[in-house]
Structure formats: structure tokens, C-alpha cells
Amino acid sequence: MAEVLKSACPLNCWDSCGLLVSIENNKVIKVEGDPSHPITKGKICGRGRMLETRTNSPERLLYPLKKVNGEFQQISWKQALDEISLKLKEIKEQYGSTAVLHSHDYANNGILKNLDQRFFNGYGGVTEIYGSLCWGAGIEAQKWDFGDAYGHEPEDILYSKNIIIWGRNVARTNMHFYEKLLEAKKNGAKIFVIDPLYNATAKIADEYISVKPGMDGLLAAGIIKEILRLGMEDRGFIDQYTYGFEDLENLINTISLEKISEMTEVPIETIHLLAKVFTDKPTSTFMGLGLQRYKNGGNTIRLIDALVAVSGNIGIAGGGANYANLQVGQSFDVANLTKSDRKTSHRQFSIMKQAEEVLAAIDPEIKMIIVTCGNPLTQVPDSSIVEKAFSSVSTLVVIEQFMTDTAQLADYVLPTTTSFEEEDIYYSSMYHHYVNYGPKLVSAPGEAKSDLWIWTQLAQRLGFGDDFRLSREQMLQLSLLSLAEKGKTLDELKVKSSLELPVKRVPWEDFQFKTASGKYEFTSMNKGEEGKLKLAVPEESKWNNPLLAEEFPYHLLTIHPLRSNHSQNYHLLPKAPQLKIEVAENIATDMHLKAVDFVRVWNNRGEVKGYLSILPKAHPNTINIDEGMWRQFGGSVNNLTSSSESDNGLGSTLYDCLVNIEKIN
Ligand SMILES: Nc1nc2c(c(=O)[nH]1)N[C@H]1C(S)=C(S)[C@@H](COP(=O)(O)OP(=O)(O)OC[C@H]3O[C@@H](n4cnc5c(=O)[nH]c(N)nc54)[C@H](O)[C@@H]3O)O[C@H]1N2
Ligand SMILES: Nc1nc2c(c(=O)[nH]1)N[C@H]1C(S)=C(S)[C@@H](COP(=O)(O)OP(=O)(O)OC[C@H]3O[C@@H](n4cnc5c(=O)[nH]c(N)nc54)[C@H](O)[C@@H]3O)O[C@H]1N2
Ligand code: SF4
Ligand SMILES: [Mo]
């Protein structure tokens, strides 16, 4: 008889679901949703169900591997750990500890995954990456405007009269929010979707607004302009609780509504309609992460925030400029886990430009890269440079569950556990404010070991084993210290499987902002000229680079796939996937292309090939290729993307990308 136990989804996702896992003979046989989870209520997506396939897959890495003369050979853990720790010791002595780069992303939401930093700090401090491919520009933008990036709790949407879904692919990426939207719609709320792609969420919208990619900041400016013209701004809020409104007014006066309509490719009547919608309060705005992966991404989010502020939708139930909810992560004492006081050296590379930085590094050069919770060869922009950089270092160590494109390049591949094979707690600072418990349910296959075991073994060999003497239980306690003071303990979490975190349900209700002025800042007070809002456009656009736009007339989006979490699921699908190139109807007509033609998409950085499909109602001149495919399936789409940084330096410009397309045989 199978035993059914509660667990949690570890995937980097908005939803952070509660799971029920069936176990028989020390084997996971089924993964379902946990009906008792307060938010996710028994529903999960295919990626969650595939955690079963992921755990049991015959393709799992089972033994440490070392590349000898270009071929992987199985070696013992002792040999792998002895050799890697010896190299680490020698590198530190000869070049200093920052000659090691830790390249990672956030493929696993477990809090103990932060212990990688405890290891690198104990070692002396390595070259770390900063910024985020995912949400960096928007988080920084909201820090400038509000002082932090806080969202309303999920139930609050039921107070909204109008709901704006701005560049978030809710039905695909955030399924429990989609359920809430349906509930709100039933209650009478009106839904507006602003997106260059007519996605599944647009289908339930009362109004779908198609916008030219990267032009949302300008669109927000147009709506503000219209609100001011109609005299419908929230004067009380603006006068009492904001800073820099005059700068915003001056900016808005530099451009006409006609010009905005022409550039955004949104009709004036629609801008007028949106002005009415925003001022018919409460109106909640839910921004996705797609709309800020542009050079102008910071300004885009800041102009949308400004629109929410001008229309008086901040700090009220059913309102909000919802982007992320950092209150969730801030509930934990992550710093207790990472022990940053242990490091004596320090260097940082931008996550976007990590490859260029590796190639350019001197003093010291990068001698070793250690990759955890990431697949940079597939996920980091401008793949050809990533490949060059990751192949150039003398030692590449990849800790992985599967033989990814990045692992293929490695000198050492260390096999690691999946989430059901180790205990951890899981949360996401993206949507809801519950933390979930995930016990160890089954043993790991072969010789796969947890990341924590690997850090502990290496630390012992390097002489700082004491930093890892605490048990998993003690490490978890450390991360929950402040919560325990508020009566939220690990024991309770273990019993209940999920706990509500003490966050503000409606942030900024008291209009006390965490900015320098204590007010909402239209102009960021301590950022000088940079702090003023700008009507910026994408880097790869006809306005910024007319020659490039002539050679590469189409805008490429590379959004998140339906059936895979980034690069994690494609290889586990029952049928081998093919690269699908989705184009707006006008492109198919202009270029005489039809469905399932084999086509090539290229620019100056690289190319991909795949099968054409036509996207009904997509914004003209727009192409989409879902991200995440390994090379063997036709990827990576990041062959085409740029490693530029957003205007505020902390985000990617993955969707700020011009390409051309042609049919091939
Ligand atoms: N199925 C699935 N779900 C996932 C993930 C996954 O890989 N697969 N990944 C998870 C992670 S890590 C993240 S970060 C989230 C991301 O969640 P989302 O933000 O929902 O998804 P993205 O694919 O990043 O962004 C795509 C949306 O932005 C729109 N968009 C792109 N450019 C623009 C623009 O210029 N203006 C406007 N208005 N819209 C634009 C796209 O058309 C699309 O609808 O999803 C999470 N959930
Ligand atoms: N073109 C384009 N590129 C993108 C995006 C896009 O929209 N378009 N989206 C960006 C976004 S939003 C994100 S968040 C990133 C995601 O980028 P990544 O996090 O790099 O992508 P994943 O494929 O989710 O995960 C990478 C690897 O982590 C491994 N892994 C999972 N759990 C563990 C673990 O516990 N320990 C260890 N050591 N490894 C583990 C998985 O096996 C997987 O191979 O991609 C970014 N790249
Ligand atoms: S991937 Fe997201 S929606 Fe799917 S089960 Fe996991 S947390 Fe839930
Ligand atoms: Mo992400």
C-alpha cells in the first residue's frame, strides 16, 4: 500500500504549491496537489506532477564524473572531493579566493540552498554574481519608488473593481492567481490584459490591449497624461504622500498623446479608456516579469508605479502596484545561514555579463567556476559567449541532477538529490505568503548526495568543517529565529505543513514609505539625475538603432514555456520536443511563411532553427520562441539574446532583441 505524505513544490515559480506525494517501497509513485493547502488547494500544474518523473528518471546523474581526455569517467566521491578541495586550496594560495566564480540561479526554492554561500564565505569569499535575469529591473524600480517591492495578499483582489494584468502570463505561469481572477470576474470585477501576445489570460479579459513590446512605460505615461487632462488624479495622495510630482508633470508635457499612441501602437481611445479604468477605483495592477526584461525595464515599472500612484490606487484594499512580495523572503533570517562575516575577499560580476567578465577578468583571473541550481549555458543570454567563457577556465564543477548543456562542459559533475530526497522549507516571494515544509521522503538513487552534504565534505577538507557542524534541523531553526519569536516555529510548520507568514496584507496602508523621503518617490531622491523618470524605449528599436532595426525588423520574445520550468522538464516529456517559432500573422504574410515551415531566426549574436507556427492576434512584427530548450532539442534561444543590463543595472534585457527570419530547407 502506498503511503501519502505532504510535501512542497521546490520549483522557481509564483505559486509555491503544497503537494501530496505517494510513496511505495522507498519510491515516489505519484505527485498530486494537497487539498488542505490554504492557497493552492489541491491543484498543481504538470511541472509539479512531473517531479515524480524527475525523481525516478533513468537519466538521473548517479555518480561523480570527471572528464578525462574529453570523456566522462565515473570516479569515487573521495576522489572527486579530494581533487576539487585540493584545487580550491591551491587556487586560494596562488591567486586568492576570488579566482573562483560561483555561478548560480534559483532553480530550487529551498531555504537551505542558501548554504552554498556559507561554504563560499567560509572559504574566504569568491567572485559572486549580482543582479537577476528574472525580475531584477522591476525589483530595483520598486525600491526607488516605494522603498521596497511589496504585493497585496491573494484574497485582496476580491475588493478590486478593475484588474489590470500587465505583461503577466497568468494562465501559464501563475495558475492559482488565474483561479482567483476567475473568482473576481464572477464577483463582477473587470479584467484588462495588456500584452503583445494574445495569451490564455487575454481570453478571459473584458478588454485585451495589444502593445508594442517594450513600450509599456510610454503607455503608462499616456494614461497619466490623460488622467491629468481630465483632472482625475488623486490630489490628496499626491500632495501629502509623494515626492517629485512636478518632475513627472514636466516629463509628461514633453510628449503628445498622438505621439505616444503612434509609438506604443495603442489607439488613443484605448488610452482614454484605461485612464477611466484606473480612476474607477479600486483598480489593482499585476505586473509580470516579461515586461521589464528590456533596457528600459526599470523606467517601465517606475512609470506603471507612477500611474498607480497618480490614480490613487496605492495602500488601498483592492488596489496596488503588484509585482513581487519581498515581505515573504524578509520573514526569514537568511543571513544566519550565509555567515557573510566569514569572508575576507570579495568581488562581484553581473549575472547578465558573467561570461564577458570571466573572459576579461584579471587580478585574479577566474581559475574555477562552480555551478549550482542553474543551467547558464541554456538560460544566460548570449550563449556563444557563455560557452566560450565556461570552456575557458581550467576547472568547471557542476552540481546537477541531469546532464544539462552546462554539465556537458564540466570537468567534474557532482550528482545531487531532488527535493523529495532531502528535508527543506520552501517559499516564493512572488505571490502568496505561506511557507511550506518538505520532509525527506525517499533515499537518493545511486550515489547522489545533497548540495549540503557536498558543502560539508568540502568544508571539512578545507579546514572549516566547524561551519557545517550543525544538523539540518539546527540550520532550519537558524533561518526561522525571528519567526519563532513571533510564535511561528519549525515544529508547528512540520505539523501543519504550511504556515502563514506575518506580512502586511495591504502594503503601504499607512502611507509610510521606505524611501529616503518617507514618501512615494516619483523622482528617486538620492539618485540624482538618474532618479528622474524617463520616457525610454528599448535598446534594440528603430528609435535607438535605426540601422539595426532595418536589418532585423522583428521583435523577439522568449517567454516561459507551458510544460517546462525553464530548462528542467523538456527532456522528461513523453515526446521529444521541437523548437517552435511563433510569429505574428503579418510576418507570415509578408515573408510568405506558413505553419510548420522549417525556418531560421538570426541576428548578429547567433541563430536558432525550428518549425513555424502562426500566433493569432499577436502584436505585428513580434516573434516568440519559448525559452529553456537544451541544444539537442534546437536551443538555446539565448543564442540570440543580449547580455545588456537594464537601465538600473540589475535586470536583464532578454526580450529586448531584434531578429530576422527566413525559410530554409
Ligand atoms: N509554466 C511555467 N511557469 C513558470 C515558469 C516556467 O518556466 N514555466 N517560470 C517561473 C518563473 S522563474 C518566472 S520569473 C515567472 C514569470 O512569469 P511571467 O511574468 O508570467 O512570464 P514571462 O514568461 O516572464 O513573461 C511573459 C509575459 O510577458 C509578456 N511580455 C513580454 N514583453 C512584454 C512587453 O513589452 N509588454 C507587455 N505588456 N508584456 C510583455 C509576454 O507576452 C508574456 O505574456 O513564471 C514562473 N512560472
Ligand atoms: N531567453 C530567456 N532566458 C531566460 C528567461 C527568459 O524568459 N528568456 N528567463 C530567465 C528567468 S526568469 C530565470 S528565473 C532563469 C532560470 O534559470 P535557471 O535557474 O538556470 O534554469 P532552470 O532550468 O530552472 O534550472 C537550472 C538547473 O538547476 C538544476 N537544479 C534543480 N534543483 C537543484 C538543486 O537542488 N541543486 C542543484 N545543484 N541543482 C539543481 C536543474 O536540474 C536545472 O538543470 O532563466 C532566465 N533565462
Ligand atoms: S511549478 Fe508552480 S504551479 Fe506547478 S506545482 Fe510547482 S509551484 Fe505549483
Ligand atoms: Mo524567473
Outline where 57-169 has alpha helix (H).
77-95, 115-123, 136-145
| Within-domain flag for 20 | no
Query: 346 to each of 123, 129, 374, how far by Cα in Å?
Result: 11, 11, 21
SS3 string, 510-539, reads: CCCCCCCCCCEECCCHHHHHHHCCCCCCCC
Proximal ligand: closest to the CA of 106: 2
Give me the pLDDT at residue 118, please.
Answer: 98
Pocket perturbation via mutation, ligand 3, pick of 6, 7, 9, 20 by most ligand atoms within 8 A of CB: 9
Give me the pLDDT at residue 290, please.
Answer: 94
How many CB atoms sit inside 10 A of residue 143's CB? 17
Kindly report, residue by residue over 30-73, the tens digit of the pLDDT. 999 999 999 999 999 999 999 999 999 999 999 999 999 999 99
Whole-angstrom distance, CA of residue 352 vs CA of residue 371: 15
Residues 6+ apart with CB under 8 A from 335: none
Final residue of a structural domain among 468, 500, 532: 500
Q: 109 C-alpha vs ligand 2 centroid, how far in Å? A: 11
Ligand 1 atom nearest the C-alpha of 293 is 32
**Stretch (H or E) spanning 240:** helix 235-241
Kindly report, residue by residue over 303-346, the tens digit of the pLDDT. 999 999 999 999 999 999 999 999 999 999 999 999 999 999 99
Give me the pLDDT at residue 224, please.
Answer: 98
487/609 same-domain check: no
485/355 same-domain check: yes
299/365 same-domain check: no
119/202 same-domain check: no
Cell 515516489, located at residue: 28
Cell for 47?
A: 511541472
Pocket perturbation via mutation, ligand 2, pick of 103, 139, 401, 402 by most ligand atoms within 8 A of CB: 401
Band of the pLDDT at 252, cuts 50, 70, 90? very high
Ligand 2 atom nearest the C-alpha of 105 is 19
The percentage of residues in the chain with a pLDDT greater than 70, rounded to a whole number, is 100
Proximal ligand: closest to the CA of 198: 1
Proximal ligand: closest to the CA of 428: 3
Give me the pLDDT at residue 1, please.
Answer: 85
Q: Is the pLDDT of residue 665 over 90?
A: no
Q: Is the pLDDT of residue 16 over 90?
A: yes
Give me the pLDDT at residue 626, please.
Answer: 98
Cell for 456?
A: 560539508
623/650 same-domain check: yes
| Within-domain flag for 10 | no
Final residue of a structural domain among 323, 357, 390: 323
- pTM for the model stands at 0.98
Nearest protein CA to atom 5 of ligand 3, as residue: 48
589/648 same-domain check: yes
482/354 same-domain check: yes
Ligand 3 atom nearest the C-alpha of 16 is 7
Q: Is the pLDDT of residue 363 over 90?
A: yes
Kindly report, residue by residue over 65-109, the tens digit of the pLDDT. 999 999 999 999 999 999 999 999 999 999 999 999 999 999 999
Q: Is the pLDDT of residue 613 over 90?
A: yes
| Interior/surface letters 362-391, b for 16+ CB within 10 angstroms, e for the rest | eebebbbbbbbbbbbbbbbbbbebbbebbe
Average confidence (pLDDT) over 188-194: 98
Cβ atoms of residues 643 and 632 within 8 Å:
no
| Within-domain flag for 44 | no
| Within-domain flag for 296 | yes
Give the CATH number for residue 119.
3.40.50.740
Nearest protein CA to atom 27 of ligand 2, as residue: 374
Pocket perturbation via mutation, ligand 3, pick of 7, 12, 14, 15 by most ligand atoms within 8 A of CB: 15
| Within-domain flag for 481 | yes
| Within-domain flag for 37 | no
Domain that holds residue 449: 83-133+343-420+445-500
Q: 463 C-alpha vs ligand 1 centroid, how far in Å? A: 44
Indicate whether residue 165 lines ligand 1 (CB < 6 A): no
Give me the pLDDT at residue 222, please.
Answer: 98
| Within-domain flag for 512 | no
Ligand 3 atom nearest the C-alpha of 40 is 8
Give the CATH number for residue 621.
2.40.40.20
116/175 same-domain check: no
How many CB atoms sit inside 10 A of residue 529's CB? 7
Kindly report, residue by residue over 373-432, the tens digit of the pLDDT. 999 999 999 999 999 999 999 999 999 999 999 999 999 999 999 999 999 999 999 999
Cβ atoms of residues 304 and 656 within 8 Å:
no
Final residue of a structural domain among 274, 291, 323: 323
Pocket perturbation via mutation, ligand 1, pick of 132, 173, 193 by most ligand atoms within 8 A of CB: 173
578/473 same-domain check: no
Give the CATH number for residue 215.
3.40.228.10
Give me the pLDDT at residue 373, please.
Answer: 98
Cell for 25?
A: 517501497
Give me the pLDDT at residue 179, please.
Answer: 97
| Within-domain flag for 179 | yes
Proximal ligand: closest to the CA of 430: 1
Ligand 2 neighbours by CB, cut-off 6 Å:
12, 105-108, 133-134, 372-375, 379, 399-402, 404, 416, 451, 558-560, 565-568, 627, 637-638, 641, 654
468/456 same-domain check: yes
Q: 651 C-alpha vs ligand 1 centroid, how far in Å? A: 14
193/304 same-domain check: yes
How many structural domains is the chain composed of? 3
366/450 same-domain check: yes
